[in-house]
Amino acid sequence: MAETTIQALEGYAALIEQAAQRSQNSSAKQHEYIHGDADMDVETESGLVPSMAKQARLYMESIPDAVAELSAQMANGRIYDTFAAGRAATAINQYFWVTPAGSGLLRVAAFKKISDTDQKFAFSYAEGAELDAVVRKSANDDDLAHTFEDGHGFILGWITAARMLTCKGGVDVGSARLLEGPDGFEVNDVSGFNIARLGMQKSVVSGLHVQNRLIPGIEITDESGFVLARFDSDPPVPTAVSSTPSAPQLGQQQRTQIMHVIGYGQSLSRGINSIPAISTAQPYNNLMVASGTKVRNSESGYNAASFVPLVELTQSSEGETPVTGLCNGLVRRAVADGEIASDWVMLGSSPGRSARSVEQLGPSADPLADFNKLVRHINDCKATADSMGKSYSVWAYTWDQGESNYVGGYTRSPYQYAQLMLSLFDTLTKQVVALTGQSFQPYIFSYQVGGHRFYSVDKNTVALAQWRISKERPDVVLAVPVYAIPTVSGDVHLTNEGSWLLGEYRSRAMYHTMIRRGSKWRPLEPVSVDWKADHIDIRFNVPKGPLVLDTALCTMVPNYGFDVRENDVVVDIVSGVSVVADDTIRISLTRAASLDAVVSYARGRNGDLVGSGPLQGARGNLRDSHGLYDTAISPLGNTFALHNPCVMFQYDRRTGF
């Protein structure tokens, strides 16, 4: 019995071996059939069969002859809209053409009339790209599992053994349609409107652009390329439970009983020459430490043991700082929008220092450095709030610095300046979160420095760096370029009303961004350039249109502040500047500019007056119309229309903004 069983197993093994051999032979034949070239015939049990590539070639070669033969039989060469019209004009056994709408096919097709009520499909033209795709697919893939064909044998798509689906054209899924795109695929709704584009390098979903970064991670931008969010590829590191979050979240600000706004920077943040102080009464419930907005930690007279109403004090050459105008303007806007004033208690501080570079204001190992005094001041304010039983958080920083980096040996490199500025605030935020335990990241509301001509400097690299930072970093908001803010005559410093006005502009940006949550505030700034031989069209982000060219904010300058430079020298080829749309300026040219030309705005020219501000500094005359709808009354009783002046910028034909 055992011997019989062994013999049976040997027989089974032989059968299995034969089956495996047949399967292997069949697989080889299938491989030849699919991969064979356009001249190969495959020998099968039923005879020679041309490879798929050869079938496609023969089909393509037969088309001209078939068309010639059929053309002689066509009734009159016309294409009909319906089968009925074609049959009516065609004899029995003759041919006629029908449009896709009339035939229900994807392209024009020929039909043979069978009777007065019936016809038979003959053929239709396929585009060369479609046939080429089929030939390439049949020649390159050995894992085809299934193909999809229409009623006339044309391949519409295929599925591989790896379960990959390919369909030429589109695929309907639920109420959406998937279509081929240039770098991936697109998703349209039932009406044909695009919902999303998904690609290898960049994707767009509901107007948000998601793109790869040069370093690991992704960025989300708006349609103009401004960064809304950035995510790295590092997974969160598990830690023990802590009341201090390791990564504070931007845009997740929580209202506390006391919300700190810190004005940091150099002289403009301190109100140098902005005298006398004019915000001498507190209209709401805003606060400062007992020693005032300007006295720094560990210095004579410093007292943070209690809070008092926020007002500005004149202390020698230091007067009105922008922080009080910001805090009061912020509450005024909130109340006008339906908020309760007592819910919004802002604590204002201005612990910067005059004539300091970004390097000098940054983190330092020196305990007496201004940065470390600022950190201790925050700790003092938190302790005072705790002693009062009040919740406390740091809501925002402001940044008024840049002038000192145009003088001395400090950096003017836009890259290095940006690195130092961002390092300063990133380090500060880590300290803030550790001290307060808050879960949200403070915003940074910056001005754009405008004083380079005051120091006889031609290139406004620091101003450009500040603008670019605001485009790159979601937490950095450029509220207003300072060139449009009134200055003391012959000085780079602001008037007392000008310092208050800078705070007012910031209050609008902060209210829009943090309280109304209307997305991050963006100033009047360029978003695209269309450079032609005879003109340059520049499109802008306009907070409140239309655009206007006038002297409402600044005295007149040549070309309203627009210049074209070749080899870094101004060339006199601008024949006019005009508003051609609510968001577009056209610069007319007398000749074509060189391919390395640069167009700049509010940079000024060598030979201009040595000065700063809206009367004699580097400036421009482009604004929006926001001030028609938004005005503010200063503590002196003067009304200001808060039009948005355009930021200083330049566009290089080689590298862009």
Q: What is the 3-state secondary structure (H, E, C) of 623-640?
A: ECCHHHCCEEECCCCCEE
CA dihedral 221, 223, 226, 229 (to 10 degrees): -20
Say if residue 9's pLDDT is above 80. Answer: no
Say if residue 120's pLDDT is above 90. Answer: no
Burial label for 608, CB within 10 Å (0-12, 13-18, 19+), is middle
Q: For tokens 């204002």, what's the residue?
A: 348
H or E element at residue 138: helix 128-140
Q: How many CB atoms lie within 10 A of CB 370?
A: 20
Rounded to the nearest 5°, which phi and psi values hold at 626? -60, -30
Identify the weakest region by mean pLDDT among 56-70, 324-338, 538-552. Answer: 56-70
Q: For 408-448, how does the pLDDT look when each residue is reduced to its tens digit (9 = 90+)?
A: 899 999 999 999 999 999 999 999 999 999 999 999 999 99
Amino acid (1-letter code) at residue 528: S
Say if residue 24's pLDDT is above 70. Answer: no
Spatial separation of the C-alpha atoms in residues 483 and 237, rounded to whole Å: 45
Alpha helices, H only, 248-391:
267-270, 322-336, 358-361, 370-387
Orientation of helix 496-510 relative to helix 322-336, angle to 10°: 40
Domain map (residue ranges) of the chain:
10-50, 52-125, 251-519, 524-657
Write the CB contacts of 630 (distance below 8 Å, at least 6 apart in sequence): 508, 544, 641, 642
Spatial separation of the C-alpha atoms in residues 524 and 480, rounded to whole Å: 9
Say if residue 277's pLDDT is above 50. Answer: yes
**Structure tokens given for 418:** 């940006």
Q: Describe the strand order of the beta sheet including 598-601 as a list of residue ranges.
A: 569-570, 562-566, 598-601, 649-652
Say if residue 618's pLDDT is above 70. Answer: yes
Q: Does domain 251-519 match CATH 3.40.50.1110? A: yes
DSSP assignment letter at 440? B
List Cα–Cα distances, 61 to 38, 56, 58, 131, 524, in angstroms: 12, 9, 5, 12, 62
Amino acid (1-letter code) at residue 277: A
Helix, strand or coil for residue 487?
A: strand
Say if residue 43's pLDDT is above 80. Answer: no
Handedness of CA 151, 154, 160, 166 (dihedral sign): negative
Spatial separation of the C-alpha atoms in residues 97 and 87, rounded to whole Å: 10
Spatial separation of the C-alpha atoms in residues 322 and 498, rounded to whole Å: 9
Spatial separation of the C-alpha atoms in residues 296 and 278, rounded to whole Å: 21
Secondary structure of 146-208 in HEC code, one letter for each residue? EEEECCCCCEEEEEECCCCEEECCEEEECCEEEEECCCEEEEECCCCCEEEEEECCEEEECCE
H or E element at residue 8: helix 2-35
Mean pLDDT, all residues of the chain: 85
Spatial separation of the C-alpha atoms in residues 179 and 192, rounded to whole Å: 11
Rounded to the nearest 5°, which phi and psi values hold at 439? -95, 0
Q: For 438-451, how does the pLDDT look when each residue is reduced to its tens digit (9 = 90+)?
A: 999 999 999 999 99
H or E element at residue 388: none
Rounded to two decimals, what is the model's pTM? 0.67
- pLDDT above 70 covers what percent of the chain? 73
Write the CB contacts of 635 (distance below 8 Å, at least 6 apart in sequence): 278, 279, 280, 281, 500
Model confidence band, residue 163 (pLDDT cutoffs 50, 70, 90): low
Nearest CA among 255, 237, 310 for reference residue 500: 310
Amino acid (1-letter code) at residue 375: V
CA dihedral 419, 424, 427, 428 (to 10 degrees): -150
Helix, strand or coil for residue 306?
A: coil
**Structure tokens given for 53:** 């590539």
Of residues 560 and 75, more confidently modeled: 560
Query: Strand 346-349 relative to strand 258-265: parallel, antiparallel, unpaired?
Result: parallel
**Structure tokens given for 166:** 């390919």
In the predicted model, what is the mean pLDDT of residues 624-640? 98
Residue 17: the pLDDT is: 62
